C-alpha cells in the first residue's frame, strides 16, 4: 500500500499483512492485520513506530516515497517495543542515524533488553513531557499495561491527532485506512475480538487510563492505533466509548458452552443444557474445542453472562484440549461470569469437580446445582437434569442482567 497523507505533512507509512494467521497466540484467519506507523514531515522529521522486521523493504519504500531518496529522519518515537512495532528499529537507526530515539521510562528498559545498544541517542519522556519538532509539538502520555509496561501514547495538539499504539486496535487487513470506510458491525466485532484476546486482563487499567485522558481534555479528531483502521471525527468518541464499554465487562443475555468430547456423551449433555437455556430466553453458543480455536471461544466468552464447561474424565483429569482452553481463559481473567460444569466418565468421575475448581479459581459465580455428570451414556433422567441445569443458569443470567 502507498503512503497516505492523514493530515498536512502527517503520513501513514504502514504495512498491510494480508497473510497473518496467528497474532499473539490467537487466530486471525482469514482477515490478517496491519502494522500502522506514521511519519511527520517538519523541521525535525519524525517517525512514529516501525513495523515487523520482515516488512523492512516495504517500509523503506514507503519512507522514500514521502522523503525522497536522500531524505532523513531526525527523530524516532518508540511507543512500544514489541517486534510488530519496533521490529525495524535497528535498521532505521543504522540507515537514518536519528538525532533522538524517544521512548517512555519503561520503554528505555525494554529497548536495552531488546537491542543491547551502547551508543543510541535515547531520550526518555515520562508523562507530561513534550518536544517541539517545528510546526508540531509531540506530547507524551504513558499508557502502562495497555498492554505492556512500556506502552505510550503520542499526541500532536496542532494536528489534533493521537498515536495510541496497541490501544483501540483491531486485526484486520484492509485496503481502507479509516473506520468510516468499512462495515461497522464487522469493525465492532474485530475490536471486541482484539480486546478479548489481548487487552482484557488490563480492563481496570483501561478504565483508569481513559478517565485520565478525559481529565486532560485532549482535543482529538483523529485516533491512530498501530493495528487496523484509524478513527476520525465522531468515530474518535465511538472508539473511546467502545473501549470503556469493553472494560466494564457488562454481561449480555448469552451463555457459552465450551466442551471437549471423546465418544459424544459430553457433547450430548451440552446440547441438552443448551435447550434449557433457550427455554429461559438465553442466546446460546456451543463450542467444541476440537473445532473452535481458543481465541474464537474467548471472543464469545467475553460478552457472555455465563460460561459452562464440559469434558469427559481422562486419566483422572480432563481432556488436554479443555485444559488448554481453560489455561488460556484464566490468563485473560474474564469478570462478571456465571459458571457451571458438566461431563461424562467411565470408571472414575473427577472431571466435573476439576472443571468446577477451574471456574472458582477464575472467580466465576457458581450456580446451585453446579454440575451434571453421567457414567458412559446419558439417559432420559440425565437429559432432564441437564435441561434443568440450563434453566437454572438461564434464571441466574436474567437475575444478573436485570432481565
Q: Which of the residues are catalytic?
A: 24, 80, 82, 84, 147, 166, 194, 227
**Residue 264 CB partners (closer than 8 Å, separation 6+):** none
Q: Which residue has the cell 437429559?
A: 383
Query: Given the DSSP bridges, would you call strands 15-17 and 33-35 parallel, antiparallel or unpaired?
Result: antiparallel
Cell digits for 322? 479443555
Q: In what order do the strands lie in the sheet with 252-259?
A: 283-288, 252-259, 304-310, 338-345, 365-375
**Gap between the Cα atoms of 328 and 307, Å rounded:** 14
* Residue 11: strand pairing partners: 5, 39
**271-292 burial, b if ≥16 CB within 10 A, otherwise e?**
bbbbebbeebebebbbbbbeeb
Cis peptide before 189 (omega within 30 of 0): no
CA angle (211 as vertex; 334, 86 as ends), nearest 5: 70
Evaluate the CA torsion angle 290, 292, 294, 297 in order and state its sign: negative
Cα–Cα separations (whole angstroms), residue 262 to 23, 313, 358, 378: 29, 9, 20, 14
Amino acid at each position: 500500500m502507498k503512503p497516505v497523507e492523514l493530515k498536512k505533512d502527517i503520513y501513514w507509512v504502514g504495512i498491510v499483512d494480508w497473510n497473518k494467521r496467528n497474532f499473539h497466540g490467537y487466530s486471525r484467519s482469514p482477515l490478517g492485520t496491519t502494522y500502522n506507523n506514521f511519519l511527520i514531515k517538519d523541521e525535525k522529521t519524525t517517525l512514529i513506530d516501525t513495523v515487523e522486521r520482515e516488512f523492512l523493504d516495504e517500509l523503506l519504500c514507503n519512507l522514500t516515497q514521502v522523503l525522497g531518496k536522500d531524505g532523513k529522519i531526525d527523530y524516532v518515537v518508540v511507543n512500544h517495543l514489541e517486534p510488530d512495532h519496533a521490529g525495524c528499529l535497528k535498521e532505521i537507526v543504522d540507515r537514518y542515524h536519528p538525532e533522538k530515539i524517544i521512548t517512555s521510562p519503561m520503554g528505555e528498559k525494554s529497548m536495552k533488553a531488546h537491542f543491547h545498544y551502547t551508543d543510541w541517542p535515547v531520550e526518555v519522556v515520562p508523562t507530561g513531557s513534550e518536544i517541539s519538532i517545528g510546526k508540531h509539538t509531540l506530547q507524551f502520555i504513558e499508557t502502562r499495561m495497555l498492554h505492556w509496561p512500556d506502552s505510550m501514547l503520542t499526541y500532536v495538539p496542532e494536528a489534533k491527532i493521537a498515536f495510541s499504539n496497541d490501544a483501540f486496535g483491531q486485526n484486520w487487513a484492509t485496503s481502507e485506512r479509516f473506520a468510516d470506510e468499512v462495515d461497522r458491525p464487522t469493525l465492532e466485532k474485530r475490536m471486541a475480538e482484539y480486546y478479548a484476546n489481548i487487552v482484557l486482563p488490563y480492563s481496570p487499567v483501561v478504565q483508569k487510563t481513559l478517565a485520565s485522558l478525559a481529565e486532560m481534555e485532549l482535543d482529538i479528531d483523529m485516533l491512530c492505533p498501530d493495528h487496523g483502521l484509524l478513527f476520525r471525527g465522531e468515530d474518535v468518541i465511538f472508539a473511546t466509548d467502545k473501549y470503556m464499554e469493553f472494560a466494564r465487562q457488562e454481561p449480555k443475555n448469552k451463555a457459552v458452552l465450551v466442551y471437549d468430547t471423546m465418544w459424544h456423551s459430553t457433547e450430548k449433555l451440552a446440547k441438552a443444557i443448551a435447550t434449557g437455556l433457550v427455554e429461559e430466553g438465553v442466546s446460546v453458543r456451543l463450542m467444541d474445542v476440537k473445532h473452535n480455536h481458543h481465541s474464537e471461544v474467548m471472543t464469545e466468552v467475553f460478552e457472555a453472562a455465563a460460561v459452562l464447561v464440559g469434558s469427559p474424565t481422562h486419566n483422572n483429569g480432563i481432556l488436554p484440549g479443555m485444559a488448554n482452553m481453560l489455561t488460556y481463559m484464566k490468563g485473560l481473567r474474564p469478570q462478571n461470569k456465571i459458571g457451571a460444569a458438566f461431563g461424562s466418565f467411565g470408571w472414575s468421575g473427577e472431571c466435573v469437580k476439576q472443571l468446577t475448581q477451574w471456574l472458582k479459581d477464575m472467580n466465576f459465580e457458581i450456580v446451585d446445582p453446579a454440575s451434571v455428570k453421567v457414567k458412559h451414556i446419558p439417559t432420559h433422567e440425565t437429559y432432564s437434569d441437564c435441561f434443568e441445569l440450563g434453566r437454572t443458569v438461564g434464571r441466574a443470567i436474567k437475575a444478573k442482567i436485570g432481565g
